Amino acid sequence: MALWAGLLCVAAPSGGGQEDPFRENRLTMVRDQIEREGISDSRVLAAMREVPRHLLVPPEYRPMAYEPRPLPIGEGQTISQPYVVAFMTEILRLKPGDRVLEVGTGSGYQAAVAAKIAGEVYTVEIFPSLADRARTNLASLGFRNIFVRQGDGYYGWMEKAPFDAIIVTCAGGHVPPPLLRQLRNGGRMIMPVGGPFLTQNLVFLEKGADGTLSQRNVLPVVFVRLLGH
């Protein structure tokens, strides 16, 4: 069974505007963990190269920010491993001008990556403290097209619907019906299934032009390779 809950949290960034000591780590991460594992969308790769992930994890984990693993960020939440973030962004086929809903702001990293590509990102976080910190941190990193709201992401953000893409970063046991209603015809949605700590399975939904839904499990490349397909 699973519970719906908000996800992820954010650490206060520091060193903005200064020389980025993690630049090389980030470029290496994109090359070794993202490109080499099959992510090819140039916009996703560019976004991953730009967003300072290390500024969105707790200070004690900054040296590990670009390693291929999720990291605890407090409140029992985690920041997904870089590959999962890249995979979820790529499969949504985001393009400039898209309106994106994110459920589970957490560290704000996923919103930041999406915001580098899409027009506007609306992100909902259930924990007030996390929402406040994410709002502050993303603003300090210069994001003007990310809008953070504290609330129950299960109900989406009705006032800003419909969305071209919905990205759910917290694992859930089902697709919330309100989110499906807020997905534009022709829109895409991605959501992890599984524990909040490690992503093993992602479900991808598409709403056809006539409003019909189709869904499939999409597996990160490494999983597909494991299956031999």
Query: Is 80 known to be catalytic?
Result: yes
If one asks whether residue 161 binds other proteins (CB under 8 A), the answer comes out as: no
In terms of Cα–Cα distance, which of 134, 124, 143, 132 is closest to 182? 124
- Half-sphere exposure (CA, 13 Å, Cβ side) for 75? 25
In terms of Cα–Cα distance, which of 150, 154, 152 is closest to 172? 154
Q: Using alpha carbons only, what angle is made at residue 157 by residues 155 and 177, rounded to the nearest 5 degrees?
A: 35
Q: How far is the CB of 25 from other proteins (least distance, A)?
A: 15
In terms of Cα–Cα distance, which of 83, 88, 115, 108 is closest to 171? 88
Span near other proteins by CB under 8 A; candidates 40-48, 96-104, 132-140, 174-182: 174-182
Considering only residues 35, 37, 49, 93, which one is a binding residue for other proteins as defined by CB under 8 A?
37
Q: Judging by DSSP bridges, how do beta strands 120-125 and 146-150 pair with one another? A: parallel
106/115 with CB nearer other proteins: 106
If one asks whether residue 1 binds other proteins (CB under 8 A), the answer comes out as: yes
Contact positions vs other proteins (CB under 8 A): 1-6, 33, 37, 64, 67-70, 72, 74-77, 81, 83, 126-128, 152, 154, 171, 173-177, 180-181, 193-201, 203, 205, 213-220, 222-227, 229
